[in-house]
Amino acid sequence: MFISEKLEKARKYEKEESVKIDKSERPVYHMYTPVGWMNDPNGFSVFDGTCHLFFQYHPYSTQWGPMHWGHYTTKDFIQWKIQPCAMAPDMEYDKDGCFSGTALEWRGQHVLMYTSVKETLCPNGEKITRQTQSIAIGDGVNYLKYSGNPVIKADLLPKGNSQVDFRDPKIWKDENGFWAVIGTKDYEGCGQLALFHSENLTQWEFVKILDESKDEYGKMWECPDFFQLEGRQVLIVSPQFMRADGKEFHNGNNSIYFIGDYDKETMEWKRDKPFLIDYGLDFYAPETIEYTDGRRIMIGWLQNWDNYLLPDGYCWSGMMTIPRELSIQNGRLIQNPVRELEKYRGNRQTYIDYVLSAENGKITLKNIEGRCLDITVTLTKQDFENFNIYLAAGDSYETVIRYDRHRGIITTDRTCCGMWKDLLTERNLKLEKEDLEQVTLRILLDKNSIELFVNHGKYVMSTLIYTPATAKDIYFETDGNAIFTVEKYDILEQI
Ligand code: FRU
């Protein structure tokens, strides 16, 4: 198979440079970039029985740059095997980037659809950007870009739609052929999703605008996903420039979901109101897969475009969330860490009905410490206003999970995690009334990240903390009386 010079260079670079990075600064059970910069997950798919995950990749620096597709495979969503870089921006039509996209298996081949980006500098100095959709076909390691690329251009869109913002195809196949939903902007600059159809993956026709923001939920809708789950249909989008609405959304880039119903024959899509997928500071652009055993699993970029935080001297930037199993309960998407994580748990330590009151101050519990943990705290008696858990604490560092019972608010506060820049440090999540009776906090800590799953996955908060590894204490504190249960496991590197 033809390997371009650019791709060859990226493959050589990642191979040589990734081994130089100190392993002790890497996450233990999350996927991370081998070297350089990583953003969105791409092409999350099963091919030939193996799960593949690609990602937006700029190997040469810790900043976003001309996008490549990096590549991993996994057998259990916890251990990731690096594969050679899959695509470089090496064609005339994608010379300025191979942006996000998805993948599927078709007739024994692995088909990737991605956004090909081309910029042209006009004689008058004006820069014209065109985003189109292209495909690459491969064997799980090497991918050949189709000679007829790009296969979808923005001129198929309704008149007035953006020719510049047209990206992140989600493709799937059903008995009626191949389908793609692609993010675009209407003539007023509001986000829309365009639905396309094809019989053969190479010739596509515009079908309709499937959904639109109408300026209610942000501008450009990036990275759509659209799938069936438990008899309903779920739409995930990551809108840019969204405005906060009380505590439910926040300013800037959000990732939201709508649950609704989709009629495959008439292509009618009706949806309920949206919810935020993750209430933390660091989450964006998730993708899902339907795994071989029927589970719908989602993975997201554990970072955000604003609030970019990286310690000096790091040669890599970017990790993914723990893959999460999705289900629906009472109109909400429920997310829980993949069950495979349980195989990596060891050194169990529990405290049943531990009684804590204000007079005790900040307490530690024997064997409840560390930076690579799966720990669940269940509050069985809540006679207090505030209950706090301090994580990655010590040497004047700490990140606090604060539960304000009267206001029903859970906050992750990383003010003292070791940041040296004036960036956002806190984010809140407002519990619904029905959630207050018993609050369960499952916390996944992995070196530099905290993912908090509240009430068995009804709410999730993901946050990066770049705290020195020596800060590994955990404290509990309340201003009243609390009774709680703790179940803690270390996550082991090998099983
Ligand atoms: C989302 C995004 C996508 C785009 C990619 C570029 O984070 O902006 O819309 O395809 O990143 O890297």
- Most informative mutation of 168, 242, 303, 305 for ligand 1 (most atoms within 8 A of CB): 168
Confidence (pLDDT) at 86: 98
Q: What's the 399 CA to ligand 1 centre distance in angstroms?
A: 29
The yes-or-no verdict on residue 312 having pLDDT over 90 is: no
Q: For residue 64, what are the domain limits?
A: 5-337
Q: CATH number, domain at 327? A: 2.115.10.20
Question: Do 229 and 328 touch, CB atoms closer than 8 A?
Answer: yes
DSSP H or E run through 446:
strand 439-446
Question: Residue 61 and residue 36: Cα distance in Å, rounded?
Answer: 5
Give the residue, out of 33, 37, 40, with the most ligand 1 atoms within 8 A of its beta carbon, to mutate for a pocket test.
40
- Closest Cα to atom 9, ligand 1: which residue? 222
Ligand 1 touching residue 285 (CB < 6 A) = yes
Last residue of a domain, one of 337, 371, 403: 337
Work out the pLDDT band at 473, boundaries 50, 70, 90: very high
Confirm or reject: Cβ of 94 under 6 Å from ligand 1: no
* Residue-averaged pLDDT of the chain: 96
Instruction: Out of 317, 337, 357, pick the residue that ends a domain.
Output: 337
Which atom of ligand 1 lies closest to the CA of 284? 7
Using 50, 70 and 90 to split pLDDT, how confident is the model at 311?
confident
| Beta carbon of 225 within 6 Å of any ligand 1 atom | no
Indicate if 348 and 253 belong to the same structural domain. Answer: no
Using the mean position of ligand 1's atoms as its centre, give its distance from the Cα of residue 193 in Å: 15
- Residue 99 alpha carbon to ligand 1 centre in Å: 6
Closest approach atom of ligand 1 to CA 56: 12
How far is the CA of 257 from the CAs of 65, 239, 269, 302, 304, in angstroms?
29, 11, 14, 17, 17
Confidence of residue 73 (pLDDT cuts 50, 70, 90): very high
Co-location of 330 and 347 in the same domain: no
Establish whether residue 222 lines the binding site of ligand 1, counting it when its CB lies within 6 angstroms of any ligand atom. yes
From the CA of 222, give the closest atom in ligand 1: 9
Residue 179 sits in the same domain as residue 247: yes
Give distance in angstroms: CA of 440 to centre of ligand 1: 34
Q: Which atom, in ligand 1's list, is nearest to the CA of 238?
A: 1
250 and 427 in contact (C-beta within 8 Å)? yes
What distance in angstroms lies between residue 238's CA and the mean position of ligand 1's atoms?
A: 10
42: left (phi over 0), alpha (psi -120 to 50) or beta: beta
Residue 248's pLDDT is: 86
Residue 238 shares a structural domain with residue 131? yes
Q: Which atom of ligand 1 is nearest to the CA of 64?
A: 12
Predicted local confidence at residue 493, as pLDDT: 86
What CA–CA distances, in Å, run from 440 to 336, 353, 431? 13, 13, 12
Taking alpha carbons only, the member of 86, 39, 98 closest to residue 31 is 39
Q: Identify which of 170, 220, 216, 177 has the alpha carbon closest to the alpha carbon of residue 195.
A: 170
pLDDT per residue over 274-301, tens digit each?
A: 999 999 999 999 999 999 999 999 999 9
d(CA 339, CA 45): 18
The CA 222 to ligand 1 mean position distance, Å, reads 7
Distance of CA 34 from the midpoint of ligand 1 (Å): 19
Residue 150 has pLDDT above 90, yes or no: yes
Task: Tell whether 409 and 328 lie within a shared domain.
Answer: no
pLDDT band at 309 (very low <50, low <70, confident <90, very high): confident
pLDDT at 243: 92
Residue 276 shares a structural domain with residue 296 = yes
Rounded to the nearest angstrom, the distance between the alpha carbon of 275 and the centre of ligand 1 is 21
Are 80 and 31 in contact, with CB atoms under 8 Å apart?
yes
Question: Strands 481-491, 372-383: parallel, antiparallel or unpaired by DSSP?
Answer: antiparallel
333 with 352, same domain: the answer is no
Residue closest via CA to ligand 1's atom 6 equals 99
Q: How much distance in Å is there from the Cα of 296 to the middle of ligand 1?
A: 23
User: Which atom of ligand 1 sits closest to the CA of residue 220?
Assistant: 9
Above 90 in pLDDT, residue 95?
A: yes
**Pair 19, 36 in one domain:** yes
Å from CA of 358 to ligand 1 middle: 47
Residues 377 and 312 in one domain: no
What are 160-205's pLDDT values in tens digits?
Answer: 899 899 999 999 999 999 999 999 999 999 999 999 999 999 999 9
Tens digit of each residue's pLDDT (9 = 90 or more) over 324-369: 999 999 999 999 999 999 999 999 999 999 999 999 999 999 999 9
Last residue of a domain, one of 337, 354, 378: 337
Please tell me the total count of domains within the chain: 2
Q: Do residue 160 and residue 212 come from a single domain?
A: yes
CATH assignment at residue 439: 2.60.120.560
101 Cα to the center of ligand 1, angstroms: 9
Q: Is any ligand 1 atom within 6 A of the Cβ of residue 117?
A: no
Q: Is residue 167 lining ligand 1, measured as CB closer than 6 Å?
A: yes
Residues 319 and 444 in one domain: no
Is 56 a pocket residue for ligand 1 (Cβ < 6 Å)? yes
3-state secondary structure of 479: coil
Do 370 and 417 lie in one domain? The reply is yes
Query: CB of 30 closer than 6 A to ligand 1?
Result: no
